[in-house]
């Protein structure tokens, strides 16, 4: 009896308390809000969209949002319990949105006519476990609308759906369980990291490419400098070799090279002599 009472008490304590957001302030333009984290934007229960002569049907759905609904979609973190909806054009639709998590979630529908829905959006929002309801009238025509949670990364992590009016206009990408992901998460180990031989080969290739790029940069730099020097001294050389035969020009070039090498040799010889002569000096005895 004691154990059963304890288990019953634990269950009651662990049960979530859902806040009913049904007493919100009307801020005009279909914008409802309360101080408990509930919000409705784009509420429209009586104005027909252009092209609708009457309400075609009256429908009501309940959509739940939470972490638990993403368990069936590997790699996802959040999700709605339903990923696809379909209704007749000009349907009056009431959405009951229930948040099962202890964080904020939204059920947002985009692409609606802006003359009737501010910013083309119908928006339900709940912070923490709670329930909120809103109504809109769907436009005419066949179209597929995006439904998602706009909290940062919630849509990317799975909280995304589509709502088709009439026959719809095709499927949206990356709807969990409906269409393939545009960018598929991969949990496979990289073959380069898994295979030491391939890893070494990849490292060697990277090193080779780096060295090749460095050599190429150095060679390009030397070439540019050489071309610049050549352009500067070419007028002087043209005057010097004017009137010389080919053999005389070759002899002059070799003589010039010899003089330059001789100057370099004499310069370094004097430097070395001054260095070593300083080291060999004997200090006078005291």
Q: For the segment 269-285, what is each residue's pLDDT rounded down to a tens digit?
A: 887 777 776 555 555 55
State the pLDDT confidence band at 6, using cuts at 50, 70 and 90.
Answer: very low
Between 164 and 227, the more confident residue is 164
Average pLDDT, the chain: 82
State the pLDDT confidence band at 12, using cuts at 50, 70 and 90.
Answer: very low
CA dihedral of 265, 269, 272, 276, whole degrees rounded to 10 = 160
The answer, as to whether pTM is greater than 0.85, is no
Distance of CA 147 to the CA centre of its chain: 21
What pLDDT, on a 0 to 100 scale, did the predictor assign at position 2?
46
Q: Do residues 65 and 95 make contact, with C-beta atoms less than 8 angstroms apart?
A: no
- CA-based nearest residue to 80, from 100, 101, 58, 64: 64
Say yes or no to pLDDT of 19 above 80.
yes
The CATH classification of domain 19-165, taken from the options 3.40.640.10, 3.30.365.10, 2.60.120.560, 2.60.40.420:
2.60.40.420
State the pLDDT confidence band at 28, using cuts at 50, 70 and 90.
Answer: confident
CA distance 135 to 105: 18
For residues 37-51, give the mean pLDDT.
Answer: 94
Domain boundaries in the chain? 19-165, 246-274
What pLDDT, on a 0 to 100 scale, did the predictor assign at position 222?
65
Tokens standing for residue 39: 């919000």
In sequence order, the β-bridge partners of residue 135 are 94
Distance of CA 267 to the CA centre of its chain: 62
Give the range among 73-82, 117-126, 170-179, 259-268 with minimum mean pLDDT.
Answer: 259-268
CA atoms within 13 A on the CB side of 185: 11
Highest mean pLDDT among 21-25, 166-170, 220-224, 243-247: 166-170
Q: Is 48 exposed, middle or buried (0-12, 13-18, 19+ CB in 10 A)?
A: middle
Tokens standing for residue 197: 């031989």
């Amino acid at each position: 009896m004691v154990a059963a009472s304890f288990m019953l008490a634990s269950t009651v304590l662990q049960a979530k308390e859902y806040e009913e957001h049904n007493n919100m302030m009307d801020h005009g333009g279909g914008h409802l809000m309360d101080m408990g984290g509930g919000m409705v934007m784009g509420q429209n229960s009586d104005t027909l969209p252009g092209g609708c002569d009457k309400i075609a049907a009256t429908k009501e759905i309940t959509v739940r949002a939470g972490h638990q609904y993403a368990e069936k979609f590997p790699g996802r973190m959040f999700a709605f319990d339903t990923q696809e909806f379909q209704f007749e054009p000009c349907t009056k639709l009431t959405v009951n949105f229930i948040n099962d998590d202890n964080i904020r979630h939204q059920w947002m529908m985009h692409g609606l006519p802006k003359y009737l829905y501010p910013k083309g959006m119908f928006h339900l929002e709940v912070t923490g476990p709670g329930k909120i309801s809103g109504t809109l009238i769907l436009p005419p025509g066949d179209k597929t609308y995006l439904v998602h949670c706009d909290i940062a990364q919630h849509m990317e992590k799975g909280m995304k759906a589509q709502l088709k009016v009439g026959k719809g206009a095709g499927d949206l990408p990356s709807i969990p369980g409906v269409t393939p992901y545009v960018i598929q998460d991969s949990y496979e180990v990289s073959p380069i990291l898994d295979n030491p031989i391939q890893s070494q080969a990849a490292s060697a290739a990277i090193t080779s490419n780096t060295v090749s790029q460095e050599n190429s940069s150095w060679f390009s730099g030397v070439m540019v400098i050489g071309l610049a020097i050549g352009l500067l001294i070419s007028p002087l050389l043209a005057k010097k070799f004017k009137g010389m035969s080919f053999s005389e020009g070759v002899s002059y070039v070799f003589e010039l090279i010899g003089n330059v090498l001789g100057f370099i040799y004499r310069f370094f010889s004097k430097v070395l002599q001054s260095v070593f002569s300083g080291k060999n000096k004997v200090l006078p005895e005291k």
